[in-house]
Amino acid sequence: MTLLGLTLKQLAIAFGAVGGAVTLLYILKLRRRRVHVPFAKLWDRVLKEKESTSLFRRLKRLLSLLMQLAFLFLLTASLGDPRLSAEVLEGRTVILLLDASASMKATDGEEGTRMATARARAKAIVRGMSGADTLMLVRMDAQVTPLSGFEGDEKALLKTLESVEANDTRADLARALKFCADALRERKNPQLVLIGDGAYPEAVLERVKLDEKSGKKVEVKPEAKAAGKPASRPAAVAKKAVQEIDWIDLTGVTVRFVGVGQSSDNLGIVAFNARRYSRNKLSFEIFLEVVNYRDKPAEADLQILVDGQVADLQRLSLKAGEKARYTCDPEEGKGGGAKRKPWCSLAASGELLEARLQAPGASAENPAALDAFPVDDRAYALLPKQRKQHILLVTRGNLYLEGALLLDDNLEVSKVRPENYSKAEARKADAVVFDSFFPKEPPGRHFLLLNPPEKGSPFPVTGQLKAPLITEHDAKHPVMRWVVMKDVNISASARFAIEPGVQSLASSFRAPMIVAKEEAGLRSVAIGFDITRSDLPLRIAFPILVINSLDWFSGHGESLIVSYRTGQTWPVPLAFLEEGAAPPAEVKVREPGGAELKLPVQDGKVFIFGSTAGAYTLTAPGPGGSEHRQVVAGNLADFDESRIKPWRELRMGGRALEAPSGFGIALRREIWVYLLLAALALVLVEWLTYNRRITV
């Protein structure tokens, strides 16, 4: 029993004083009133009967005294505010830090998910606060969000807890602890209670300063550390990360931990991306990374879906703790034998690609959970929209050049003579190829120029080279990839000047003959000689050189659309904006869960905080009442967050955190109300017994 009001000594003094006064009044004899009677003998018999019942009358008066003393005792005891708990902390300032990261969506909690279990633990702590406690609810995921101020309103706190749900982001423990340290600084009896599964980076846990209030200091032996939690990154990288994290000072704060979760059963996709194959826009190549976090071998079915339709299904087998990478190039799908990867022969005209892990043999009609953590069983990637590249060829006739363009099935070629060329026609094309001609005004498109004119060349020419030999070339540039120009015979070539932004791709004794430039988002390549006066068209290098240039213009060599990582702010460029067009003021964003929000556009980009894994759809009004549409993919893609193994004992700052104490229903319940009710009931009983002449 604990008293939160008057002390036991004060209560004893008050009860003794008042009870003594009441007892004294009962002991004092009443002064009898003199009554004159005509004949005293007549009253002798009555007086004798009264004397025979005097003992009983004394007992009745004693019962009345005891009832009065009991009433005073109940009234005095209520002033002490007694509680049924033997342990209480006066006036604590508590922060309840709730882990709402992706791992809390695991389905191995006692109440269903880990998040549901965490809410139940949090409610028990709120209900167990003492009358003088104040508590703040703080949500922790990739962001830190205070859900309340410091308050003691139990109903308001419980209502706030009902709305806390986990999302698909990692837990930023460092930021959360720094926030709590600042919020609790110089507060009375500060206490931090962390509720989560304990799957936090070691680099953060080691950089926290705690004192003896938060648990006993533990020394981790090397062999015990090796057998404990596996490192989430190489030792050198982890050491560097530890050095870069500032110390988090929680000295003076009582830190407690409540662990939730039971299972470490998980297979997860930690990386997934895809891009179309540059030689065949229908085919695509993928990169997929799957980790088996179980301590035993596991199998799973991998589905590849294109725009929601299943394109392929493969059975994966992984050893215990294995991290397997699956890469796919369409060229690997050709042929046969054990090395052939069946899914590499896939083709897709769609845009949204999905990789899905499911239990072996499961289907839409017969679903079966693969593991306890479904968040990382799906991953999304985007493929560039399938379209052919429109090329405008400006030439008086060049069969070699036309033949090279016909080799690529992904090109749509339109041919015009120089005298029929117009800039309006060029604006309809994706790129322009000029043969021994260049207009007075640049086309405003990517262009390939062969044999530039003596006057009006977009690349300054400083002279002519007679019978040059190509002695140097930049093999790292995308245009020169797989191009071999050794011993090419050339009658004459222009010698280009190297200005800022101009890059030499091939030269004769450092005299540039093939150059490239990228300026204001437009790319251009110039070949300084007439190919018909060389043997270059007779070599395989020529069509490769032409197609490489066009691929560089379209970005096919770099056509990997990034899949963003949840828990970050994504600067998404608006792909539907045309050159020179004014961007919209805002874009409507539809999240994977169906929620819609409007975000402003800044410098042609929209900034989205990704809290859910899946496909985000961006829409904006277009010309003539049309609508622009763009899709963005977000994945959890977090190796540490997918490791869902719970930790009942959390070690922070070299100390083993204890479970919170001093919270309970008995401590929270106020007994003085019941004491007053009992006193009121006793008064009613005394009134009834008095009126019925029982106690008088």
- Ranges of the chain with pLDDT below 50: 52, 55-56, 86-89, 222-242, 244-245, 333-340, 557-558, 666-668
Domain ranges, ordered by start, for the chain: 2-30+55-84+671-691, 93-263+652-668, 267-382, 428-536+545-558, 564-639
The CA–CA distances, whole Å, from 527 to 391, 478, 535, 551, 557 equal 18, 15, 14, 16, 21
What was the pLDDT predicted at 240? 45
> Which CATH code for domain 267-382?
2.60.40.10
What's the confidence (pLDDT) of residue 254?
A: 94
> What gap in Å lies between CA 605 and CA 592, rounded to an integer?
20
Reduce the secondary structure of 648-668 to three states and give it as a string: CCCEECCEECECCCCCCHHHH
Q: How far is CA 341 from the centre of its chain?
A: 33
Secondary structure tally for the chain: helices H, strands E: 15, 35
Tell me the pTM.
0.67
How far is it, in rounded angstroms, from Cα 374 to Cα 114? 13
Looking at residue 64, what is its pLDDT? 75
Q: Read off the amino acid at residue 430.
A: D
Say what the pLDDT of residue 70 is. 84
CATH number of 93-263+652-668: 3.40.50.410
The answer to whether residues 122 and 195 touch, using CB atoms and an 8 Å cutoff, is yes
- Answer left, alpha or beta for residue 408, where phi above 0 means left and psi between -120 and 50 means alpha: beta
DSSP 17: H
- Among residues 119, 154, 114, the alpha carbon closest in space to that of 134 is found at 154
CB 507 within 8 A of CB 473: yes
